[in-house]
Amino acid sequence: MSKSLPVVELPVLQDAAQCCPPITAGALPVADSERMAALFKALSDPVRLRLFSRIASHPGGEACVCDIQDVGVSQPTVSHHLKKLREAGLLTSQRRGTWVYYRVEPAALAGMSQLLAVPS
Amino acid sequence: MSKSLPVVELPVLQDAAQCCPPITAGALPVADSERMAALFKALSDPVRLRLFSRIASHPGGEACVCDIQDVGVSQPTVSHHLKKLREAGLLTSQRRGTWVYYRVEPAALAGMSQLLAVPS
């Protein structure tokens, strides 16, 4: 008999690239503000932001935790921050052998980028 | 005799437009991560994000608090959130007569926009 898995509530980010128009274009609806505020919250810690930048800028767009963990905090703290970034939908992860590999979720980055776009 | 005004410590944001290269271009240095994380923290609350979008999208780029305060929270809460946005360097304000008028600080928005830019 199959064991049922617990349902994990994650922000729906499939359409983050479509959400939202630039902040300068109109007032943000409530639902979008909740979704986007959660992404900014994940980036509101300097160590998390540095980890995110290390993954985003890693050759091939993917980083092993072993490549990025020298940010001056303990390994459990790195794991905690990576979990927060993953839970917010900013990163995806994959275990391969001994290591976990992280990638930036393109839709989440695109959504934030679009929201904060400066009118040209 | 003139009364001396208290010195308010605000983040130095004049060069926020120069800070930082896109997150996909390289690892973010510690000082920049602290500065930018503080901006994202200010946007990590849905009500603050909505207030920020209302000011950013207001005709003329400036909004009276009287134009933007119907966000479903009390007036003191609106004031508290606007203060947080101002302290983070995301808004500037000016009192004219009865009302306070808010503008987005262009360098702060440009800095975040540049940091989260998606490679084309």
Question: Percent of chain B, pLDDT > 90?
Answer: 79
In terms of CA atoms, which chain B residue is nearest residue A45?
Answer: B37
Q: How far apart are CA A114 and CA B73, in angstroms?
A: 27
With a pLDDT cut of 90, the percent of chain A lying above it is 79
Contacts of B100 by beta carbon, 8 Å cutoff, 6+ apart: B64, B65, B82, B93, B94
Could you tell me the two tokens for A100?
């976990």
Of B89, B52, B44, B45, which is closest to residue A44 (Cα–Cα)? B44
Predicted confidence at residue A18, as pLDDT, reads 66
Please, which pLDDT band fits residue B7 given cuts at 50, 70 and 90? Answer: very low
- Residue-wise pLDDT tens digits, B22-40: 999 999 999 999 999 999 9
Domains of chain A: 9-115 (1.10.10.10)
Task: Please judge whether A118 and B113 are an interchain contact, meaning their C-beta atoms are less than 8 angstroms apart.
Answer: yes
Question: B53 vs A13, which has greater pLDDT?
Answer: B53
Question: Does the CB of B59 have a partner CB in chain A at under 8 Å?
Answer: no
Instruction: Please give the residue of chain A at the shortest CA–CA distance from B31.
Output: A46
Tell me the mean pLDDT in the region A77-105. Answer: 96
Scanning B26-90, the segments in alpha helix (DSSP H) are: 30-42, 46-56, 65-68, 75-87
Which of A20, A32, A40 has the highest number of chain B CBs within 10 A, making it the mutation to test binding with B? A40
Is B8 a residue whose pLDDT tops 70?
no
Looking at residues B64-83, what average pLDDT do you find?
94
pLDDT at B109 exceeding the cut of 90: yes
Q: What is the mean pLDDT of residues A1-27?
A: 62
Please give the average per-residue pLDDT across B61-71, as a whole number: 93
Does the pLDDT value for residue B16 go beyond 70?
no
Distances (CA, A) of A71 to A48, A58, B27, B88: 10, 15, 10, 25
Angle at A14 between CA A26 and CA A23, to 5 degrees: 15
Region A65-71 average pLDDT: 92
**pLDDT tens for each residue of A39-59:** 999 999 999 999 999 999 999
Q: Are strands B99-104 and B62-64 parallel, antiparallel or unpaired?
A: antiparallel
pLDDT value, residue A119? 84
Identity of the residue in A30, A45, A54 whose CB atom sits nearest the CB atom of B37:
A45
> What integer pLDDT is reported at residue B17 of this predicted model?
55
